Structure 1
């Protein structure tokens, strides 16, 4: 059985961060999760439960979200990546694997780029290269620009099929279950997250990401059209792309199917080629 999460609230540079760690076994590199915009850490629990119970998992609420304090000034992705590295120091973690979802995928790219020695492997789910992305439909982007779905759960349930696509179009209960786990950090925290990504792009340094990278995309994602994930997989040198038959939140709705793909990627080691000596002349064919 998986271990329960250990919750801690820590303070770094005057910023209060709510963290959760699911203990694991030392033979697996811990997995650090960068969550989507406005999303508190509880929203990824269904995905975590589908992962190998031996895998240690680190989740946290970014500033202004969930149980973390809202900063008085806006921040950018490089500053958040630095904060994540400091959080790992505080929690006594060295090298980790990182997974980033949607907005958190941009932060994961920044973390892998700025702290390559801390990030062994990278998983990017339903995300993009930022400002140069091929955008979703204007109606969807307009709804994403507001924190209303997190502050008013009934509104979030109503628009879920349009913004998340996939299974949310077919199962109304998914939206209800998702909304029940939401813990809003307020409007300002959401706007700070939007500001962090304003004008940001990784397109000019994606080729410098050397970590083995798994790119996961939904084929019915209204927020991040599939072409954006193909672009990431093309620009990152050591990347592989998997397309999931679902929408934006496939990590949650297809957790049982996606988790084994991620575990296989995290556990495989590139083996060196073994040079076998030529057999003696008289042994050939035997």
Structure 2
């Protein structure tokens, strides 16, 4: 496990498309004015634009599931996003926009959220992981990298554990190991237990600094922009998501997750205290931890800084973790 410093806000990953194009050789007088030199400079080539999302609503197990796919290039393993509780897929678009446009991205609304139907009975995390695997089958995807945010991080852990052959790498952002987690402040947890912030946008804006922390404490416009993208399906879907995690924990099988894992944590996260992310990185054999100077929603507020860390992780070819046996000790005599 290792921790690396976060790049400054606005940093981007090294890419040939962002480097200056060499200028053609120019015959010029021995001395040139500043204006002349400036006119001969060649600007960097623009990065290729990402493809727009393709939206589809599919039917699985009697449920309608709303999906969005941003097409990418075949040389990169697609990225499957498991979103936070009550969060519709549009809320991750600012983060996706900061990623390499060659990376194919799959987002979806879990049952009871956004444009997906609300089930008559709740799912548990193993059932939701199975539903995600069936969704990948329907959309004709084999192996993916999974990223889970907050509540979705628990679902991503379950997916990586139950379907290891479908999950090449794992990214966990602002999440925990479930029932054994060190909880946030009671007032924050009480507010998180209610879907009111998604149903009543003005209330969501009011409590955003307290529950999300970080940049939301300093910039009221962030909360307004976030609330404007919310698409609520009502209270029942939110309560079903709470039920999915009731009593759930991954602590007893985290050591079985063999995928290379990137753990991302905010140092001012009122919902998931930092110690929970340290525990995940400690328990997962092949994990590395990055601590970001922000709150719970750093994937959105620090997208331009976090995206290069994620892209570097995705491009690395890392060896699987190896658990070494105890050294052989010859018998005395």
Going from structure 1 to structure 2, the CA distance change for 1:282 and 1:173 (only over 3 Å counts) comes to closer
Q: How many residues align?
A: 283
Q: Secondary structure at the match of 2:329?
A: helix
Going from structure 1 to structure 2, the CA distance change for 1:283 and 1:241 (only over 3 Å counts) comes to closer
Q: Deviations over 1:51-105 (max 9, x none)?
A: 0000000000000000000000011000000000000000000000000000000
Going from structure 1 to structure 2, the CA distance change for 1:285 and 1:132 (only over 3 Å counts) comes to closer
Q: Deviations over 1:161-215 (max 9, x none)?
A: 0000000000000000000000001100000000000000000000000000000
Q: Deviations over 1:221-246 (max 9, x none)?
A: 00000000000000000000000000
Distance 1:192 1:103 in 2: 12
Distance 1:32 1:189 in 2: 21
Distance 1:254 1:102 in 2: 16
Distance 2:278 2:129 in 1: 24
Distance 2:330 2:184 in 1: 64
Q: Secondary structure at the match of 2:304?
A: helix
Distance 1:30 1:10 in 2: 19
Aligned positions of 1:95-244 closer than 5 A: 95-244=143-292
Consecutive unaligned residues of structure 1, counting only runs of 5 or more, are none
Query: Do the aligned residues in 1 keep the contact of 2:65 with 2:115 (CA within 8 Å)?
Result: yes
Going from structure 1 to structure 2, the CA distance change for 1:263 and 1:65 (only over 3 Å counts) comes to same
Q: How far has the Cα of 1:271 moved from its partner?
A: 7.0
Q: How far has the Cα of 1:284 moved from its partner?
A: 42
Query: Do the aligned residues in 1 keep the contact of 2:94 with 2:303 (CA within 8 Å)?
Result: yes
Distance 2:112 2:320 in 1: 45
> Is residue 275 from structure 1 mapped to residue 327 from structure 2 by the alignment?
no
Q: Report the TM-score when normalising by structure 2.
A: 0.81
Going from structure 1 to structure 2, the CA distance change for 1:25 and 1:134 (only over 3 Å counts) comes to same
Q: Report the TM-score when normalising by structure 1.
A: 0.94
Consecutive unaligned residues of structure 2, counting only runs of 5 or more, are 1-50
Q: How far has the Cα of 1:273 moved from its partner?
A: 15
Q: Deviations over 1:10-56 (max 9, x none)?
A: 00010100000000000000000000000000000000000000000
Going from structure 1 to structure 2, the CA distance change for 1:175 and 1:273 (only over 3 Å counts) comes to closer
Of structures 1 and 2, the larger Rg is shown by 2
Distance 2:206 2:324 in 1: 63
What is the RMSD computed on CA atoms of the aligned residues?
Answer: 6.0
Distance 2:142 2:262 in 1: 21
Q: Secondary structure at the match of 2:290?
A: strand
Q: How far has the Cα of 1:277 moved from its partner?
A: 29
Q: Secondary structure at the match of 2:183?
A: coil
Distance 1:97 1:15 in 2: 24
